[in-house]
């Protein structure tokens, strides 16, 4: 066996693996946990949160003629001594909050 060939082969494999990992990271979607954390941080700016949830399976949503893959979740806040519930939708690609509705 020629050790130089093995070393070159291992080096080429490592470089190819590095670039494949970089492409995977670019195309990976936001996890539901990260989406919930992002939403909680946004809601915390308006006051304390008493509860939260997120649906782990992404859904399709159409807004302004565009279709998004989103995670649906909810936040409960105490406002003026009463629990107020909000439902939100977070873009699974970017983590941006696309929609917020106050539940009755």
Q: What is the pLDDT of residues 14-42, one digit of tens each?
A: 777 776 776 666 666 788 999 999 999 99
What distance in Å separates the CA atoms of residue 25 and residue 35, rounded to the nearest whole number?
17
**Neighbour count for residue 78 (Cβ, 10 Å):** 13
Q: Can you tell me whether residue 2 is helix, strand or coil?
A: coil
Both tokens assigned to 67: 């279709």
Kind and range of the H or E run holding 18? helix 3-27
pTM of the complete model: 0.69
Domain 31-102 CATH class label? alpha beta
pLDDT-based confidence at 4, cuts 50/70/90?
A: confident
CB 90 within 8 A of CB 52: no
Q: Token pair 């670039």 is at which residue?
A: 19
The ranges assigned to domains in the chain are 1-28, 31-102
């Amino acid at each position: 066996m020629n050790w130089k060939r093995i070393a070159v082969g291992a080096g080429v494999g490592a470089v190819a693996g590095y670039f494949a990992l970089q492409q995977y990271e670019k195309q990976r979607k936001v996890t539901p946990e990260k989406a919930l954390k992002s939403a909680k941080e946004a809601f915390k700016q308006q006051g304390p949160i008493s509860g939260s949830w997120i649906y782990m399976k992404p859904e399709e949503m159409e807004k302004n003629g565009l279709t998004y893959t989103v995670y649906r979740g909810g936040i409960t806040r105490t406002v003026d001594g009463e629990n107020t519930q909000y439902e939100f939708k977070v873009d699974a690609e970017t983590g941006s909050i696309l929609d917020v509705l106050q539940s009755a």
